[in-house]
Amino acid sequence: MRRSCGQSCPRSCGQSCRWGGTGGRWGSPRSSEAESGGGTRRTPAEQPTPGYVQRHRTHLHPGAWWLWALSLGTAATRTTNPLLLTLLITVSAYVVATRRPHAPWSRSYGAFVKLALAVLLIRLAFAVLLGSPIPGTHVLVHLPEVPLPDWAQGIRLGGKVTAEALTFALYDALRLAALLICVGAANALANPSRLLKSLPGALYELGVAVVVALTFAPNLVADVQRLRAARRLRGRHDKGVRGLLQVGLPVLEGALERSVALAAAMDARGYGRTADVPPAVRRTTAALTLGGLLGVCAGTYGLLTAEGGTYGLPVLLAGVAAALAGLWLGGRRTLRTRYRPDPWDARAWLVTASGVAVAALLTLAASRDPAALHPGVVPLVAPTLPLWPAAAVLIGLLPAFVTPAPEASHTRKEPTT
């Protein structure tokens, strides 16, 4: 039997009404004041739901997390000091440990850490087996050298392994590992679906492709963990190469099923459909976007070269302005609305500013004191921790204190007998 509460309810259903009526969702039945006709009652459109208010209190804009993480990654590229790089990794790991939500896509941080360790080990292995152009006098071991033909000059297999070459490889690999860990922190903290909602209309289709690519690793990790847990419950082997090969086929099957479901959902939501825009507007949009991107490339090149110091910044600013104008015009072709958009509040500004401050201060330190941020390996010296760059890195801990803690996971416990 279908019934309605008699008020301005968005739907009628066979259950109790959400907005009012007997057995309403928000507590007791109708108040006596509402039944007697007195008082003012808010309509469903005017009354904010508790879930919406709570979501804005506990969630940060996903773009702020990405800007914070990318800024830390930019700071990692400005130094090869292993102490500063380790401090950057520690800062990102602490923020992830305290502010990572309880969601399947947030479990990918461990996979990025393992990938960073693999990069570190592979780089050291290449330095041992293939040698290094860094000269050194502290020989650790002398491996048998394999003779190579004349066309392979410059490549060496085996030979002496020096401490200077290994130290240089360690510094270089640690910088790349820190960058990967910062990207993993962004994947663990930012909700990809909410990030897609925040993109402008002109970048929606491109954003869908990027979000699908970014969620590939978290979904893959979640599928592997789920299948390994299922194999352990059945008493089967789940470790080593054999266990990984037996898990690979179900993971591939799950990825294909998820792709088909995603394609059906995108088609049902009108993905790729555009509005009717005059040809002049389309040509203007294309010209502004293409010209803006070319201006950004030319301005960036001018800033990186000594000859382009006079025109680099004006060309870069003009390119950014043209690209933004093109994106604004291109957004008119996409018929999209946002349901409960994420606001960019003061907390998002603080999180973004903390990351940008770390990147800016380490860039300044690299230009003022390059020896402290790039310790030498020839001659081999022990790295030291510069004080004010280390204090600048600690600014990246600000999100752990200004953002709200994640919601506790509600796991239902089975009754015990």
Instruction: Check pLDDT > 70 for residue 168.
Output: yes
Instruction: Check pLDDT > 90 for residue 393.
Output: yes
pLDDT of residue 63: 86
Residue 3: pLDDT band with limits 50, 70, 90: very low
Residue pointed to by tokens 């890195």: 393
Q: Looking at residues 306-316, what average pLDDT do you find?
A: 72
pLDDT higher at 242 or 12: 242
- The torsion angle over the Cα atoms of residues 227, 267, 275 and 339, rounded to 10 degrees, is -50
Instruction: Check pLDDT > 60 for residue 1.
Output: no
pLDDT of residue 157: 81
Instruction: Check pLDDT > 60 for residue 416.
Output: no
Instruction: Check pLDDT > 80 for residue 40.
Output: no
The pTM assigned to this predicted structure is 0.64
Taking residue 128's Cβ as centre, other Cβ atoms within 10 Å add up to 18
Cβ proximity of 394 and 91 under 8 Å: yes
Instruction: Check pLDDT > 80 for residue 82.
Output: yes
Q: Residue 141 and residue 158: Cα distance in Å, rounded?
A: 10
Instruction: Check pLDDT > 50 for residue 389.
Output: yes
Both tokens of 105, joined, read 């896509």
Residue pointed to by tokens 């693999």: 118
Residues 6+ apart with CB under 8 A from 141: 160, 161
Instruction: Check pLDDT > 80 for residue 266.
Output: no
Over residues 42-70, the pLDDT tens digits come to 444 444 444 444 444 557 888 899 999 99
Q: Residue 242 and residue 257: Cα distance in Å, rounded?
A: 24
Q: Residue 292 and residue 309: Cα distance in Å, rounded?
A: 19
Helices 109-129 + 216-233 axis angle, to 10:
100
pLDDT of residue 113: 93
Cβ proximity of 291 and 283 under 8 Å: no
Instruction: Check pLDDT > 90 for residue 36.
Output: no
Does an H or E element contain 67, and which?
helix 62-76
Instruction: Check pLDDT > 60 for residue 235.
Output: yes
Q: Looking at residues 248-270, what average pLDDT do you find?
A: 75
Which of 72-86, 325-339, 368-382 is modeled with the greatest confidence?
A: 72-86
Burial 25-61 (b: 16+ CB within 10 A, else e): eeeeebeeeeeeeeeeeeeeeeeeeeeeeeeeeebbb
Helices (H), 273-311: 279-304
Q: Residue 214 and residue 184: Cα distance in Å, rounded?
A: 10
Q: Looking at residues 305-331, what average pLDDT do you find?
A: 76
Residue pointed to by tokens 């507590």: 27
Cβ proximity of 199 and 192 under 8 Å: no
Helices (H), 305-377: 312-330, 346-368, 370-373
Q: Looking at residues 130-137, what average pLDDT do you find?
A: 79
Q: Which of 159-168, 225-234, 405-414 is least confident?
A: 405-414
- The torsion angle over the Cα atoms of residues 64, 65, 68 and 73, rounded to 10 degrees, is -140
Instruction: Check pLDDT > 80 for residue 275.
Output: no
Instruction: Check pLDDT > 50 for residue 10.
Output: no
pLDDT higher at 138 or 166: 166
pLDDT of residue 32: 37
Instruction: Check pLDDT > 80 for residue 129.
Output: yes
Q: Looking at residues 62-90, what average pLDDT do you find?
A: 92
